[in-house]
Structure 1
Amino acid sequence: MPNLAIVRRLEAVGFRAWPAASIQYDGSWQIRLTAGHPSKRLNSVNPLDPSDHDDIEGRVERAARRFGSYDRPLVFRQSPLAPPPLEAYLDALGWRRFDETIVMTGAIESLDIDHGMDHLPMRDVGRYVDASIAVHGREQSLKPGLTEVLSAIRPPSGLFVLEEETTGPVSTALCVHDNDLAGLFELATRADKRRSGYGRDVVTAALRWARHRGAETAWLQVESANTAAVALYKGLGFGEVYRYAYRQKPGY
Structure 2
Amino acid sequence: MQATSPASNLPLVRRLEAVGFRAWPAATVIYDGSWQVRLAGGHPSKRLNCVVPLDPSDCRDMDLRLEKARKRFQSYGRPLLLRQTPLASPQLIEHLAAEGWERFETVKVMTTELGRLALPDTIDHLPSHDIGRFVDASLSVTGEDAGLKPALAEVLSAIKPASGLFVIEEPPHGPVAVALCVQDNDLAGVMELAVAAAFRQRGLGVEILTSALRWARISGARAAWLQVLDSNAPALALYRKFGFREAYEYHYWREAQR
Q: CA RMSD in A?
A: 1.3
Contact 1:116 1:204 in 2 (8 A): no
Counterpart of 2:226 in structure 1 is 220
Q: Distance in 1 between matches of 2:202 and 2:98?
A: 45
Q: 1:226 to 1:113 in 2, by over 3 A?
A: farther
Q: For 1:181-202, what per-residue CA distance to the aligned partner results, in whole angstroms no more than 9, with x for missing partners?
A: 0000001111111111111111
SS in 1 for 2:239: helix
Greater displacement, 3-12 / 190-199: 190-199
Consecutive unaligned residues in structure 1, runs of 5 or more: none
- Structure 1 runs, 4 residues or longer, greater than 2 Å off: 111-117
Give distance in 2, aligned partners of 1:113 and 1:51: 42
Is 1:240–2:242 an aligned residue pair? no
Aligned to 2:150: 144
Q: Using the TM superposition, give the Cα deviation of residue 211 of structure 1 relative to its aligned residue in structure 2, in angstroms.
A: 0.6
SS at match of 1:82: coil
Identity of aligned residues (%): 58
Task: Give the residue type in structure 2 aligned to 1:203.
Answer: L
Q: Of 100, 115, 122, which residue of structure 2 is paired with 1:109? A: 115
Relative to the length of structure 2, the TM-score reads: 0.95
Q: More deviation in 108-117 or 213-222?
A: 108-117
Contact 1:115/1:204 (CA < 8 Å) preserved in 2? no
Report 1:1-252 matches (<5 A). Answer: 1-2=5-6, 3-114=9-120, 118-251=124-257
What is the rounded CA distance, in whole Å, between the counterparts of 2:124 and 2:237 in structure 1?
23
What are structure 2's unaligned runs of at least 5 residues? none
C-alpha distance in 2 between matches for 1:212 and 1:115: 10
CA contact (8 A) 1:103 1:220 kept: yes
Instruction: Tell me how far apart the structure 1 counterparts of residues 232 and 200 of structure 2 sit (CA, whole Å).
Output: 13
TM-score by length of structure 1 reads 0.97
Shift in CA distance, 193/117, structure 1 to aligned 2, threshold 3 Å: farther
In structure 2, relative to structure 1, the CA distance for the partners of 1:229 and 1:196 (3 Å cut) is same
Native 8 Å contact 1:101 1:223 kept in 2: yes
The alignment partner of 1:60 has SS state of: helix
